[in-house]
Structure 1
Amino acid sequence: MPFAVLLTVVGAALGTSPVPASADPEPDRFVPRGSVREAPVDLPGAMARFWAAYSAGDDTRKVSAILDALLRAEGPSSDQARRAVRMLAAHSAGDQRRAWCERLDLLGAPAPLRHAAFVGAALTASDRAFGLTRQAPVSTAPAAYAGHVAARMTDGDAATFYWSDGAPRPGTQFVLDLGRVRPVQGVAVAMGTASRPRDFLRAGVLEGSVDGVAWTTVRQLPGLPTVTATLGPDPRDVRYLRLRATAGQRHWLAVREVSVRPAPADAATDGDATTAYRVAGGPVVVNLGVDQPVDRIVVLADRGTHQGTPVQVRDGGGTWRTVGRLGGEYTDVAARGIVAGQVRVLFGPDSTGTAVREIVVRPAR
């Protein structure tokens, strides 16, 4: 988030602006007049100076100490904002373990309204520092009719839909890119609309792929407007899903929604630190899709995670190689550029119930 936008968001959330030295101090609008505590009027300015230092990569120790003191004066209601300041100060100092511990304290505890924008912006900045990215699916399809574009297949709204600009022909493809390789348990495709109930794919196949080149059949289409598919007794790793017409038809195609049901383990690689995978007594495997040189592996877990669990990569020869071991709730190990197609944390039965928030695999450049 650009610095100027951050200042605008934070200022809007506080509902006040820095007061010139010559002006009479104005009581915080969120604190009733006559209350024992009143928020210092320089809080917005302190927040702005903190963001400026953090965004520029400067030493934040002094500005964070001042901001923390002002927030502390507000009382316990500002504890979440103080944690957010400490989290970013730790990122700034290069202490990612301490930043993650502060981040854990922020999980599940909402900030008061007056600081919600500040805390939200801090979490976004923390995501960038940890390398967390939430990737939205991207759909592609032949030309759309009257603005019913392919993106409407995955917008989460069954009232909108993609509508083809003509009838499908043999080989016509409709592709969904999940953004990364994901363990998927099931797929559902809803076609046709209330006004055009016959606009669904009569003959075709639903296929999956990890690289967009080699495709495997998920299921043959049954000639019905709603298609559901379970990808085997175990989740299947896929990045791409596609509907492919195997015959021509007279009616056009309307796709209301393509829904993907990820496996529970996907919570460890979804770019969202608020979700977690509970270890079931076995390893957690991350499929990279294609072999690639790996620089580092970061594992973000909850407190109480056992130390010493091996972190491994599977090299081009199919051999699992240990590159490091868990150090508790935060682990950062170097893979030294090993070319690998998979990464795993070799949890055993003694780790059942461990909550893994994210496994971040950083490729070598």
Structure 2
Amino acid sequence: LRQRLPAQVTAAKSFTYTGLDGRKVPVLVGDGVLDRFIDAADAEHDRILGVSGRPSVTTDLGTYQSNVAARMLDGDDSTYFWSDGAPAAGDGITVDLGRVRDIGTVTLAMGKPGSTEDYLHQGVLEFSADGRSWQQLTAISGEPDVTATAPAGTRARYVRARATAGQDNWLVVREFSVPTDDGAVAGGPPAATGSSLRAAFDGDPGTVYRAARAPEAGETLELGIGAARAVPSVTVLQPSGSKGRADIQLRGTDGTWRTVGTLDGPYTRVGTAGRTADAVRLAWHTGSAAPQIADVVVGGQG
């Protein structure tokens, strides 16, 4: 059922009618309500599966019409969050990365055509590992687009933009991007057009890595998990009907890969007895069909 959701959402958004001016107008049913329900259902299902890597966003501010906070993270610069009032000192928006991760360059894109002054005029970008102790990344002052690169080795679960003074204008945020440096994906087979290797390890079971071809002998898909740590389990999610076959392996502190299980069906969970590892990989079996991986969930990341 979860795997059927993206296509159903796309279909629901495809309906239009012709307005009196001849333009196509989207049909909206429960706009801003169904969106939030689907996001909440996905988040609860992620929790059940053990997925903790999909970012979410919250805000102290109310929402104007259907311009919900989730639109800050949708990767689409033409959509946006729009508050229903002006921020006061202390108000802000917070991205939760799901777990403590290495962060890189943070981008906050605010304002929009017709509302060019709707941005945080005075504020700060901050990060935190626990949501209680915060460190400043950069100041926000008089610019709608803010970019800041965290020092090498910076680890955080939360990144927030906080107003340090009240203002008259409301707030529009087109995108709040917090790329992470952990979770690197390498190997193959190469992804088919419209897919990516990254989709196999992005914390979102709704995205799928679809290989362009069957794996060659000795080919592997390697997923970095940052500094070596105890790994209690590995779960691999495949789309229904996927025929990919592989050994599930962990790389220990001595650099040796050890097989801990075998990929089998749409849901494979392997207990790994808390082995210490810094990477996991799928070593494809000879004769396996072109792989499709919805997500690899490494236990103990929360």
Name the residue aligned to 1:344. 278
Q: Distance in 2 between matches of 1:208 and 1:259?
A: 13
Number of equivalent positions: 211
Q: Distance in 2 between matches of 1:227 and 1:146?
A: 25
Q: 258, 261, 281: which is aligned to 1:326? A: 258
**Aligned partner of 1:166: which letter?**
G
Q: Distance in 1 between matches of 2:233 and 2:169?
A: 51
Q: 76, 80, 84: which is aligned to 1:161? A: 80
Query: Given that residues 303 and 329 in structure 1 are in contact (C-alpha distance below 8 angstroms), is that contact kept between their aligned partners in structure 2?
Result: no
Query: Given that residues 260 and 272 in structure 2 are in contact (C-alpha distance below 8 angstroms), is that contact kept between their aligned partners in structure 1?
Result: no
Query: Given that residues 297 and 361 in structure 1 are in contact (C-alpha distance below 8 angstroms), is that contact kept between their aligned partners in structure 2?
Result: yes
The TM-score with structure 1 as length reference comes to 0.45
Note if 1:285 corresponds to 2:226. yes
**Aligned partner of 2:115: which letter?**
R
Name the residue aligned to 1:250. 168
Name the residue aligned to 1:310. 252
- The 1:150/1:360 distance shift into structure 2, 3 A limit, reads closer
Query: Given that residues 182 and 226 in structure 2 are in contact (C-alpha distance below 8 angstroms), is that contact kept between their aligned partners in structure 1?
Result: no
Name the residue aligned to 2:102. 183
Query: Given that residues 203 and 246 in structure 1 are in contact (C-alpha distance below 8 angstroms), is that contact kept between their aligned partners in structure 2?
Result: yes
The TM-score with structure 2 as length reference comes to 0.53
Q: 1:14-38: CA deviations, max 9, x gaps?
A: xxxxxxxxxxxxxxxxxxxxxxxxx
Larger radius of gyration: 1
Query: Given that residues 251 and 278 in structure 2 are in contact (C-alpha distance below 8 angstroms), is that contact kept between their aligned partners in structure 1?
Result: no
Query: Given that residues 187 and 228 in structure 1 are in contact (C-alpha distance below 8 angstroms), is that contact kept between their aligned partners in structure 2?
Result: yes
- The 1:307/1:155 distance shift into structure 2, 3 A limit, reads closer
Name the residue aligned to 1:261. 179
Q: CA RMSD in A?
A: 4.7
Q: CA deviation at 1:363?
A: 5.0
Note if 1:296 corresponds to 2:233. yes
Structure 1 vs Structure 2: percent identity of aligned residues?
35
Q: Which runs of 5+ in 2 are unaligned?
A: 9-45, 185-197, 212-219, 238-243, 264-269, 282-292
Q: Which runs of 5+ in 1 are unaligned?
A: 10-127, 313-321, 348-356
- The 1:139/1:299 distance shift into structure 2, 3 A limit, reads closer
**Aligned partner of 1:326: which letter?**
R
Q: Distance in 1 between matches of 2:258 and 2:180?
A: 26
Q: Distance in 2 between matches of 1:273 and 1:329?
A: 21
Name the residue aligned to 1:192. 111
Q: Distance in 2 between matches of 1:189 and 1:168?
A: 16
Q: 4+ runs of 1 displaced by more than 6 Å?
A: 275-280, 302-308
Alignment of 1:143-162 (within 5 A): 143-162=62-81
Larger fraction in helix: 1
